[in-house]
Structure formats: structure tokens, C-alpha cells
Structure 1
Amino acid sequence: KMMRKNITQVRRVGPYITAFKMSVGCLWTGIWRSFRTVRGTFGPPVLHESQRCSFSSRDSGDTPPPPPKPATPKNAKPCKSFVRNTTILVQQRCDIQELPVVVRKIAEDEFISFVSDKIICPPISPGDGKARNAGNTSTGQEPLEEEMEIIKKIDDCRSTKGVLTVLFNQNDANYGPNIAIRAMEKILSVESLLELKEVERSQEFERIINCIVYNAESKAILDLLEELRSYLELPRTIDMLGNELVYRCAENALTIEECCDAIEVLTQCRRPEMVEKFWSGLADKEKFITERNVHFVFAMLPYLKISRRAVLAVLERRITMLWWQMAPNATIEVLQSLVVCKLSPYRVTQSLARWLNTNIHSVSEDQLGAILEAFTNLVYSDTQIERALERYMKAKGVKVTSQNLIVTILCHCQEFRLRNGHILNGCSEFLIANHALVEPGYLRAYFYPFGALDFVPSNATKFFDTINMLVDLHFGKIPPTDVIDIMFTYLCLERFPLNFVNRIFNPYFLDVLHAKTQPERMDIVRGKLKLFDTGLTLECADYDGPLLPRDHSAKAVFHDGRIKRIVNYITSDLEELAGGAECMTKFSVLQHLPVNSLYLVDVIFHPPGLGNIFTINTMKERNINVAVLVHLPEYYDSTGTYLSGSQVMRIRHLRRLGLKVVTLRFDTLHKLKIHPKELRQYLVERIKNAQEALPALEGIAPLTRSS
């Protein structure tokens, strides 16, 4: 009967232990061992040494520690080891983890109280009360002057022997934790590292540590461990203090802040196995995580490895209740902790995005920049963030004083394809108003997002005049790769910077470009340079090009596998619409264009035979051949409405060559795969709405150059 009742009482241990189902046999083994341990008929369980944990003072089922033995071996363990380590399975919804925990033996009276649900208070013996109230002795029984006098004597000592002599002359009533901590600090300051190793093995030193472990406050132990970071050669002392903190955490004797401090200091003391056990204390005190300390707990996530997910689950539940009360600095610390851990939990990021939209007008420019940069690094953005930035730029605009903030906003818009007119126009107004303060290294960051999003500001004339002036003024100070990106952006926005052509196609500039470009990026930079040359040749009648020779070497061109698979799937329908297999070619590059993935045409409809593809006359054969392009979701902006600048330029160049262009959406094709009739109707409709070829420019130079 008692066994059945005990199984139900196991649920009182804590919210996480509930998920750990124990069999009756395992429970009986634990009960039997507990009884035998209390009676003294059963020795310590046989465990590997690495599983043992040093004695902890707060074990309510054990007696105070006996005085140390006369002789202590050099490699002896601490005087008692009542605490053990094990692992349990913890289930949180669908997530199951194996996490480390601390196991403590309980006394007979404590076990009976646990089973019967009655509180049994055994009488406290004089010695027991003396040991447990030693921490209060220095403030209650001893006069403060006497304690200060003893501490002064310790401060006057010049050696460890003198400190130990002062302590030896004191009785237990005058030997409180404050005196022990001061003696410990004095010994650390007067002894060398080699001598400290010998002192650590002495009985007197062990007595000092036991006094601290048994009677000192948790804050004092944390401060002492903070000092011991420089004395990692004292492993026994660090282990005893660390194990005491672990045990107090398991007993819910530490506050949230003390748990966080313990995790940090034990990590610095190189005790990762201890750090992993603090998750249970944080989980049990979940209700005590408030808007004032939640960022402290988030800051501990980088120190945790095994138990990180368990702590993060607790924080996810709490932050949904606290986000609206958090301060800006706390929000920044939370986001930066997630960036360090490379974690982007949806509930946390969503809550913080709501916080930003709610408090957008109460944050400073530096705080907004830090928050937005963290969101960008976490690869997260949503409508809350976009709405917050839109409101901010509407309210301030040119009043913003930090160019770092504007650059961060533009980078975020580019990364997540936010083609928001209010945000981008506000950034362009800032550039025009503060062009004198713009640093040359930031010029690419100001301009490139407009080309990537294919967005021309409402004040286009002033905007491009400002960009032209800044590029011309700081051309030699701008990194060469940034210059190429700026020229590519001009081309995407249908602007032709002919006044910079001679500076770019200059042997000196090209040498500097090759010297300062990383080898792995060289092919990308060369490709953009060829695109710039080809684009000016196709679209600008005043351009005397092409200036770069054609690349006759065979090379592989990257083609997205999703496009390949979907084109192969609809090949039969496309062949039927083209007039037969001989009237269609897949995955080809026209002879007039450089070998670049941007100019790789997914499907071309042409008259029968392959010759027309490679001998097309761009001046006469117009609107005869049809280029079919499949656009992936990332080719569009965040709303899925506007194509990116490079894709718009790709379509424009193909139309300049006399081809009609048909655009297909990959997501639509993928959805219609299981509906053949609707798929065919979609293809027919898109082909009917093909974009006609653009008129040929008069006086345009030939597209081929052999040398």
C-alpha cells in the first residue's frame, strides 16, 4: 500500500521529474538503499570515480561533518560524498532529452514525511543547531568588534602559518564564514602557486573550506570562486565550492541571478560538467524569471551544451508573458545571446519583433541598430519588423543622425527583400541630406540594396546625382570590389555610368582589383565585370564596346536543381506547345552573351533545328524565338510581387536580343503538378502574355569581340 502511494507522490518532486516514469522495482531499490544507508548497514554505492560528487553541507538527511582525520592522503577525496550524479529522460511536449541531475540520499524521517505527506520536524541537537547557525553566530552571538579584530589579525599576517595560527587559537564560536573567507583570501595572496598546492592538502586548509561550504552565503561562495579563476591548480577546492553550489541549486536555495552567476563562474573555472546541472534550478524557478532577469538567463545559453534546449524551452514560455515589460538593453542582450548560440527560436524572435513594433519610438538609434543587426544575423524578419521600420522612417527620416543605422536598415531590407517604399525613400533622403558625412566604405551599402530590390527612389534625379558625385569624389578610396558592385547596381536600375568606364577598364584598376580580391570571389567579380560590359553594349548606344574579349574556355554554369526538375517534369507539355521536340532547347546560353548563370535560359522555343539558336540575327530576327524563364520564390521580393533587379535586367537583355520572354513561377508550377489540366492552362496563359522584344538600338556596337 505504501509503495502505491509513493508512486503517486513522485509527482511532487518537480515538473520535469513527472515525465520520468519509474518502475516499482527501481523504486523499491531506491527505498531499500535509502533505509540501509540511514541505518549504516550499507556502504556507499559502487560508482565510478567520475560519477562522484563532493559532499554538500545542505543535506538535511545527514549529520554535520566530523572533524578531519589526523592524516590525509595526497590524492584523497573530500571528507564525504553523499551527492551522486545521474541522468534522467525529460519530455517537454514532443521533445525528449537525457539531462544530468543531482541525486541525494534522504534520511528515514524525511522519507516518511515524503510518503505520508506529513511534515516531521525532528528535534535539533545542540551540536546540530550549533553547526547550522554558525553563519548567524558572527552577527548574533559574537560582537562585531571581536570578529573585526580577528580579521585584522589575519590581515596583519605575512604567511600562511600565521593565518593558520590565528584560526587555531579561535574556538568554534568565533570561527564564522566571514573569518574563513578572509583567511582564504589572505592565503591566496601570500603563497606562491607551488606552495598553495601543498597547503590545499593540509587539514587546516580543509577546515577552512568546510567552514565556508557549511556556513557561508551563496553570494560569498560565488565571490570566492570568482577569485579562484586565477588558481585553477587548486582543483579540490574549486570542486568542493562548485559542488556546494550545484547542491544548493538542486534544493532551490539559489536565486535566478545566483544560478546565472554560478554558471558563468564555473564555466570560467573549467567545470562544464557542473554547469550542465543548473538547468533543474532554473526550471524549478521558472515563475521567478521576470523582465528584470530574463536577459541574465539568456546570457547563460552559450555556456550550456547538453541542457541548452531545456533552458531555452523554459525561456520560450516565459518571454511570451514578459516581452512587453522588457527594457531595450535587455532585449539587445537576449538577441545577442541567441546570435552567439546561432539559435532562432520562433516564439522568442516573434515576441521580440512585437516588442520592437510596440516600442519603436522609445529606442535610441544605437539600440535600434543593435536590435536590427541581431535580427539580420538570426535570419529573421516579419511584418512586425517591417511595420516598425516604416513607422520609424516616416517619423524621423532625415532627422536620423547615425549612418550606421541607415546602413543596417538597408542591409536588413536587402537580406529579406523588403521592398518598402517608405523605408527606402527615407534612406535615400538621408543620403541626399547627409552626403558630406558618408564614408567611402559605406557607399556600396547605401546603393546596392536599391539595385537588388529594383527600386528607383521617388527623388531619383537628386539621388543618382548624389551617388555620381560621391563615386567620382572617392573613387580611389572605395574598395575595388565595391566599385564593381556599384556599377552593377547602375546597370540593374537602367542607369549607364559612362563617365566611369575609362576608370574601370584601366590596367591599373584591374591590377588592384585582382590583387585585393580573395581568390574564391574572383570568378564572381569577373562575372559582374563582364555583365557590366555586356549590359552597356546591349542597352547604351553611346557605349563603345564590348571592351572585354569573349571567354572561349569551357566552364560549368550553376543551375538550380529545382528549376531543372520542374522543367524536366513539364517538358512534354512545353514540347507540345513549341511544335515538337525539335523546336525546343533546354538550358542553353546564347552566343551573344557571356557564359554566366544569369544568362542561362531555361527553355527556348525556336524554329526547327538548333542552328537558329547560335546564329540568331539580333537586328532582323525579332519576336521569333521565345525564352521561357522559371523564377524561384527568392527571385521576388518578400510580397512575391516584384522581381529582383538582376532578374529584371536578365529579362530586359533577352528582350534586347529580339526574344520574346515568358516568365513562369516555380511555386505555381509545383502546386499544379498534380493537376495536369490546370497546369496546361497556366502554361498557355503565360505564353499568350509573353513580353515582346524591345526595339533594337540604332548605332549599337556588335556583341562579339574575338580578342
Structure 2
Amino acid sequence: MLLRAVFSRLPLHFASRMVLRSPISALSTIARDRPRALLCSTILVQDGSLVHELPVMVRRANDLLLQDEKGQRTSSRSKMAKKSKSGGRRGPSRRIDIETDEGTAILFGSDLDFLNEANVEQLVAGLESCYTPKGVFSLLETIIVEEINSIVAVQALRKIIELENSPRNGNRASPTSNRELVLGQVVEMIVGTQDSDTLLEALDLLTRDTISPPVNPLRDRLCDEVASRIADNEMNVAQIVEAVRIMTKFRNLEYQEVVDSLWVGLAAKESEVSAEDLVPLFRSLYSFKKSRRFVHAVLDRRLDRHLRLLSGRQIADILNTLANAAIESPETLRLANRWAAAKANTVNEQDLLDLVRTWTVTRNVDPAVEKMMETHVQARQGKTRAKEVQLPSMHEYFRSACSVLLGSWVRWFRRIMACSLKVPTLIGAMMNYCESTRIRNPVILSGCADYLAKNARSLPAGAIVSIFVPFGSLYFRPPEPISGRFWKSLEDAVAYRFLQLKPNEALDVLLAFIHLERHPVRFAEKVFRAGFLDRLFHRRNLRSLDASKTKLRLFDAAMTLECPQYAGPMIPREERPGNPDCRDARLKRIVNRIHPHLVKLAGRHYVVSKTIFLGQLPSVEFYAIDAFIYPRFGPSPSQAFSLEKQHRNLSIAVLVHLPEHFCRNSSQLMGPQVTKKRHFRKLGLRVMSLDFQTLEKIIAEPLAVARYLEERFLATEEGM
């Protein structure tokens, strides 16, 4: 009995807590020659403090019990197993007793294999000589069924499917009348094999069957046999994974029920799951639906057991698999972070690169992750300093031993070799991780800045972008000891590689300069050349084109405000006002709540407006002011007002900062927000900064809101 096999094979803490939940129900009924051998039911399984309701496959009562010669009730599979001395499906001691005049002749398993395989090559050659499905069917009909062993049956099935799928087959859409009969006999011969790999191979072949309907008796028979063997603990972990993969390819709800029931085999084989099995098992996790939580818990336990044996690539593959399948896995992330803490000093660069990319996708933030990257950056800085100490002696050696030309070539070769492809890719991946997670770690960023200062001129264009742009987003300026060398090396590298940069990437680099309060005047002329603009605007994607235009406007406005040497503005001011509807719903909601308090705070001589775009700045979301306090009888905010001293500091720009406007676990604003405040102050405005999270906590208390706004009003930053 399949359900009995489930109880007998599972560990005690599972089997003792199983309860039949729902009555046994048949799978979906379709026209078949015979009913399905397996039915679907549900049981309750307690796993620690959790109780799972899981599907399970059960045999029909008519096929389940037989009467043996002693009148005892036994299953058909147990009766078949009595032919083997070991009782197992794969037992090597199979035998047949043949009565003769001289006594009983005993034929052992090896002799059976010889008889079964004696004509295998001849039969396979006959199958290969067939060029149409009808020819294969005719050949199979002339062979005695007993002569067809599992190898020939699989070859026949493969040949039939290949010929039916071949474009040269004229009868592809009209199968022969004896097709189902012959294929049914072939499948029955395959089901009788002792080799589960052969069974899975045949099931995989049926995924390419384009003649039969999506649900058909051939698939039913093989799926039932596979589920039975897994429940009887006759398949190993790799075979269970393969069975899940194949049945998932059927893309049918009926076979999905079979897949969900295969948790039984994984639970029974839990102690046999090795470190090498974990990645394939996690990849198959998305195939489970109803039993996914239970299977995930089993895999997490085995991951915990084999954690120290896994490589960084395996950990990255596991996390990537879960991220791609949109499976939330806090326990798996916790174990991965624990692995990172233990392997911080031993992980190699390739594994670290895979991990950093995975952490970026999963937005995984943990002190162990930062510590691993800090360790790598510090180790690389130490190696670089050691090389620098040895360079003078090596240089002197080459100068004394070689000519000036040879010495120059050696120095060039050393500089190229020091900048291998893997290292800048890893540095760029770490910077991308810091930017996407808003981690402003001084150790990591300083190490990456030092690397960029030494190697910028030999880096490819894409590496320069991926390493440098996050500095602007995080508003991190290089430390003073390397600041001059950093900017000189970077500007020279950008000037040398400018034509190799994509237009969008070039604007990202220039905006990063501006966020860090640097003025890339030498690149302004290149930006507004016709060739660059043609490349920038030659886009079919309208959203991408609008984003590129916005970046160009921001660059022009920033250079006009901050750089006296810039001959701008180069882009005419737009007449149309900004669109308030593009604002974040959270900002609009909180501004509406605090607006009465701001009106009261400003007094009767001032006006408080919501979502304002100033006339002297581009009408883009970047320059939107959440609330604007200005004199009642002064110029309107949409008009260009005077920047003279007597008109400065009369108006206040109120900015509400969302959590993503700050670096993680810090009060430091991100680079774009710092630039935004600086530009408003350049226009002579006072800037009042409010924290969204603080307002959310106190918004239901009017007195607390009033006190907070008054505190922030007194702390407004004066215009420049």
C-alpha cells in the first residue's frame, strides 16, 4: 500500500504525526481504457511547531490488496518482490526455477540479462532502419512481446517520437490506427524494468510527444509508476529531482498533483541529501506548489547541516534560484549570511563576485556581508602596498639590465596585468551592491576609491561607469590623501574613454561629478555636440528617451547654477509646468496632512503651496518642492525671481525625505538629495528638511506635529 509505504519510510517524527485529512478522490477523469492506478488524498504532517497539509498519492483498493496462498492480505508489489531473494526491485539475486527430467534448473539474474539482451543490438539496428512511424509499429508488431526488453522499448519509443516530430514525416498529423496499442505495450515493458533511470528516460521522451493529448494514458502510467517507486523509497535524491523536472515540463494541473506528492521521497531521503544535491533540489523547489513550504523546510535543514562544505558559487546559485522564483526565504538568507561570516577570510574572488551579484538581486543586507567585502578590500590594498614597496628595486633592475624601451614596455605590461578583467568586475559589483542597498561603508568605498585612483586610465569604459557612479549616489568623496590623484586619474580616464561610453552612461558619470560638487567643464562641449545628441536621442523606447532628456536637463541646470565657466543654459526653459501627479503617493498624503500646520506656522503674511516647480529650474520631478512658503505679495514661484541679496532667504522650500532618500542606517542624505538642496539654496531659498518616518509616527498627534515642525523651522538652512 502506497500510504503504508509513506508511513514506513518516513522518519518517526513525521510518520507518528500524520493524519488523513480529506477523503480519497480520483484525479481528473478523462476517457481512458482503464482508470488511474493512483488517487490523490491529503494528510496532515507536523514538522516541529508547524503543521502542513500535504497531498499524497494512494493506490486503488482493487489494485492494492491480493490474497496469497496462505490467505494473507499482501500488496501486488510485495508479491512481485518475492521473486527476488532480497525483496528489492533492484536486487541482483533474481532467479527462475525450471523443472526438468533431471531435476530443477536454476537460472540466475545474469543469465536472464543475457537472454534479454542477446538480440538487443539486432533489434536496435532494425529500429534505426525505419524511416516512418508506421515502419516502427510494423516492426514492433512482428516481435514477440517477451523478446522486447526495456532497452529496446526505450529505443523504440525514442524512434517513434523522433519520426513523428520530424518535418519530413508526411503522416505527422495523422497517426496510425495501431499507435496507441503498440505504444501501450512498449510503455508496459518499460514499466517492468528494474532500472529507474530507464523509466525516467522514457518519461522524458513523452514530453516531446506532440501527437497524444496533454493528458494521456501513457503519461499516466509512467507518472504513476514513478510516484509509486518514490513512495516505496526505490529512487535516490538525484532521480527524485529528475522526476520533478520532467513532470513539471508537462505543464498540466493533473501532473502537478503528482509533483506535489513527491515530497514523500524527499522526506524519506532527508538524511541522504548531500551538499552536491542541495543546488539541484533548490532549483526544483519552484515546481512544488502545495508542498513547497514543507520541502523548503527540509532543504533548509540540510543546508544548515552541510553549510561549511558549500562553495560561494553554490550559495549564490541557491539564492539566485529563490530570487528568480520569487520565493521568500528568510531562513535561507540567514544561513547564507552565517556562511559569509565564517568564510570571510577564505572566499576567492570568483565566488565573492557571484555572491555580491546575488546579494544585489536579493537586497540582502547583513553585517557579515559587509565584513566579507571589507576583508577583501583591505587584503587587496595590502597586496597593492606590498607591490608598491618592491617596485623601485624592480624598476632599477630593469633599467640597469635593459634599454629604456624595454623598461617602458615592462612597466606598461605590469600596469595591464594588474588590471585583469575579474578585478574591476568585482569592484564594480561591490559598488553596485552598495548603491542599490544604500550602504555607505567607508572601508569598502575608500578601498574602491583607491583602486580607481590607481587603475582608472587602464580600465574599460563600462568598468569606469560601474565603479564611479555609485560614489555620486552615496555622496562619498574620496579621502584627502588620495583625493587629488583620484580626480586627476578619473578625469583623464573619462576624457580618454568618452567616445566609448554610451550616451546614457556618460550622463550618469557627469551627474555623479555634480553630486560630488565637481564641475566637469571639459566635457560640456562634447555633450552638446550633434553626434552625441544624435546617439542620445536615437531610441525607440519612449520611457528611456524621456529619462535621457531629463538627465540632460539636470546637467545643464546644474552647470548653469554652479559653474561660472559654463556658457549656459544650453537648453531653453520649458513653458509647460511640471506635473504634480507624478509625485510619490506617500509624499502627497503626508503633505496634505501637515499643510494646515505649515499654514499656521508661516503666518498670515505668507502663502503655503503644495508641489511647486520653480520657474528657473527644469520642470522635472527632481526639482519638485513638496511645500513652498513664500511672501503673499511677492513674485509667484513659477516666475523667474531676482537672485539679489535683498530678495534672498524670503521663501522656504519644504522637502519631505522618504526612507530611500537616506543612506542606510544613517542621517546622511543620498547624493541627488544633497544636490537638490544645494541648488535651492543657490537660488536664495531657505531649505526646511522633514523626515517622512518621523511624521508618520506622530501624525495622529497634532501637538507633536506642531512641535516637530517648529523645531525643523528653526533649523532651516540659509540660502547661499
TM-score (norm 1): 0.78
Decide which of 412, 417, 420 is 2:433's aligned counterpart: 412
Range moving further from structure 2, 120-129 or 679-688: 120-129
State how far apart, in whole Å, the 1-side matches of 2:714 and 2:338 are.
44
Q: Does residue 148 of structure 1 match 2:114?
A: yes
Q: Does residue 661 of structure 1 match 2:687?
A: yes
**CA-CA distance at 1:433 after TM superposition:** 3.1
State how far apart, in whole Å, the 1-side matches of 2:709 and 2:640 are.
27
Task: Find the counterpart in structure 1 of residue 235 from structure 2.
Answer: 254
Q: 1:169 to 1:513 in 2, by over 3 A?
A: closer
Please tell me the residue identity of whatever aligns with 1:450: F
State how far apart, in whole Å, the 2-side matches of 1:262 and 1:152 are.
30
Q: Deviations over 1:204-256 (max 9, x none)?
A: x6566445424513233223434555456475444322211112223444333
**CA-CA distance at 1:520 after TM superposition:** 1.0
Task: Find the counterpart in structure 2 of residue 686 from structure 1.
Answer: 712
Task: Find the counterpart in structure 1 of residue 150 from structure 2.
Answer: 181
Please tell me the residue identity of whatever aligns with 1:410: M
State how far apart, in whole Å, the 1-side matches of 2:77 and 2:336 are.
51
State how far apart, in whole Å, the 2-side matches of 1:190 and 1:512 are.
54
Task: Find the counterpart in structure 2 of residue 632 from structure 1.
Answer: 658
State how far apart, in whole Å, the 1-side matches of 2:474 and 2:513 are.
12
Task: Find the counterpart in structure 1 of residue 201 from structure 2.
Answer: 223
Decide which of 117, 123, 130 is 2:83's aligned counterpart: 130
Q: Deviations over 1:660-691 (max 9, x none)?
A: 21211111112122443333332222222222
**CA-CA distance at 1:14 after TM superposition:** 8.2
Alignment: residue pair count: 627
Q: Deviations over 1:302-352 (max 9, x none)?
A: 333454344334434554454344333431321221132022321112221
Q: Residue 523 of structure 1 aligns to a residue in which SS? A: helix
Please tell me the residue identity of whatever aligns with 1:85: C
Please tell me the residue identity of whatever aligns with 2:651: N
State how far apart, in whole Å, the 2-side matches of 1:467 and 1:452 are.
17
Please tell me the residue identity of whatever aligns with 1:415: S
Q: 1:466 to 1:124 in 2, by over 3 A?
A: closer
Decide which of 501, 505, 517 is 1:494's aligned counterpart: 517
Decide which of 597, 601, 604 is 2:628's aligned counterpart: 604
Please tell me the residue identity of whatever aligns with 1:357: A
Q: Does residue 618 of structure 1 match 2:634?
A: no
Retained in 2: the 8 A contact 1:15–1:284? Answer: no
Decide which of 604, 611, 617 is 1:587's aligned counterpart: 611
Retained in 1: the 8 A contact 2:153–2:189? Answer: no
State how far apart, in whole Å, the 2-side matches of 1:583 and 1:139 are.
96
Please tell me the residue identity of whatever aligns with 2:703: K
Range moving further from structure 2, 679-688 or 540-549: 679-688
Retained in 2: the 8 A contact 1:88–1:101? Answer: yes
Q: How does 1:322-333 map to 2 (within 5 A)?
A: 322-333=306-317
Decide which of 351, 367, 387 is 1:383's aligned counterpart: 367
Q: Residue 591 of structure 1 aligns to a residue in which SS? A: coil
Please tell me the residue identity of whatever aligns with 1:639: N
Q: How does 1:163-562 map to 2 (within 5 A)?
A: 180-188=149-157, 192-193=163-164, 201-202=180-181, 206=184, 209-231=187-209, 233=211, 236-268=217-249, 272-273=255-256, 274-397=258-381, 401=420, 402=422, 403-458=424-479, 459-516=482-539, 518-557=541-580, 558-562=582-586
State how far apart, in whole Å, the 1-side matches of 2:674 and 2:696 are.
22
**CA-CA distance at 1:550 after TM superposition:** 0.6
Retained in 2: the 8 A contact 1:51–1:85? Answer: no
Task: Find the counterpart in structure 1 of residue 597 from structure 2.
Answer: 573
Please tell me the residue identity of whatever aligns with 2:437: F
State how far apart, in whole Å, the 2-side matches of 1:471 and 1:517 are.
27
State how far apart, in whole Å, the 2-side matches of 1:344 and 1:281 are.
24
Please tell me the residue identity of whatever aligns with 1:414: E
State how far apart, in whole Å, the 1-side matches of 2:686 and 2:529 are.
36
State how far apart, in whole Å, the 2-side matches of 1:451 and 1:212 are.
64
**CA-CA distance at 1:290 after TM superposition:** 4.4
Q: Residue 587 of structure 1 aligns to a residue in which SS? A: strand
Retained in 2: the 8 A contact 1:301–1:312? Answer: yes
Q: 1:233 to 1:651 in 2, by over 3 A?
A: same
Retained in 1: the 8 A contact 2:613–2:624? Answer: yes
Q: 1:689 to 1:180 in 2, by over 3 A?
A: same
Retained in 2: the 8 A contact 1:394–1:426? Answer: yes
Q: Residue 475 of structure 1 aligns to a residue in which SS? A: helix
Range moving further from structure 2, 476-485 or 428-437: 428-437
Q: 1:563 to 1:373 in 2, by over 3 A?
A: same
Q: Residue 623 of structure 1 aligns to a residue in which SS? A: coil
Q: 1:602 to 1:91 in 2, by over 3 A?
A: farther
State how far apart, in whole Å, the 2-side matches of 1:411 and 1:549 are.
34
State how far apart, in whole Å, the 2-side matches of 1:133 and 1:633 are.
62
**CA-CA distance at 1:493 after TM superposition:** 0.8
Range moving further from structure 2, 651-660 or 384-393: 384-393
State how far apart, in whole Å, the 2-side matches of 1:357 and 1:308 are.
28
**CA-CA distance at 1:473 after TM superposition:** 1.3
Retained in 2: the 8 A contact 1:627–1:660? Answer: yes
Q: 1:573 to 1:227 in 2, by over 3 A?
A: closer
State how far apart, in whole Å, the 2-side matches of 1:400 and 1:16 are.
58
Task: Find the counterpart in structure 2 of residue 102 from structure 1.
Answer: 57
Range moving further from structure 2, 338-347 or 612-621: 612-621
**CA-CA distance at 1:586 after TM superposition:** 2.8
**CA-CA distance at 1:575 after TM superposition:** 2.0
Please tell me the residue identity of whatever aligns with 2:657: H
State how far apart, in whole Å, the 1-side matches of 2:150 and 2:93 are.
13
Q: 1:555 to 1:98 in 2, by over 3 A?
A: farther
Please tell me the residue identity of whatever aligns with 1:490: F
Retained in 2: the 8 A contact 1:410–1:424? Answer: yes
Range moving further from structure 2, 125-134 or 341-350: 125-134
Q: Deviations over 1:14-46 (max 9, x none)?
A: 8499576759xx6xxx8xxxxxxxxxxxxxx9x
Q: 1:510 to 1:322 in 2, by over 3 A?
A: same
Stretches of structure 2 lacking an aligned partner (at least 5 in a row): 1-6, 67-71, 96-106, 128-135, 165-170, 385-417
**CA-CA distance at 1:598 after TM superposition:** 1.9
State how far apart, in whole Å, the 2-side matches of 1:607 and 1:393 are.
53
State how far apart, in whole Å, the 2-side matches of 1:432 and 1:538 are.
28
Range moving further from structure 2, 401-410 or 189-198: 189-198
Q: Deviations over 1:491-525 (max 9, x none)?
A: 11111111111111122321221114631122222
Task: Find the counterpart in structure 2 of residue 66 from structure 1.
Answer: none
Stretches of structure 1 lacking an aligned partner (at least 5 in a row): 1-7, 31-44, 53-74, 112-118, 171-178, 695-707
Task: Find the counterpart in structure 1 of residue 407 from structure 2.
Answer: none
**CA-CA distance at 1:264 after TM superposition:** 1.3
Retained in 2: the 8 A contact 1:180–1:208? Answer: no
State how far apart, in whole Å, the 2-side matches of 1:227 and 1:645 are.
57
Q: 1:549 to 1:426 in 2, by over 3 A?
A: same
Decide which of 648, 669, 691 is 1:643's aligned counterpart: 669
State how far apart, in whole Å, the 2-side matches of 1:619 and 1:125 are.
98
Q: 1:96 to 1:505 in 2, by over 3 A?
A: farther
Q: 1:257 to 1:127 in 2, by over 3 A?
A: closer
Alignment RMSD, CA only?
3.9
TM-score (norm 2): 0.77
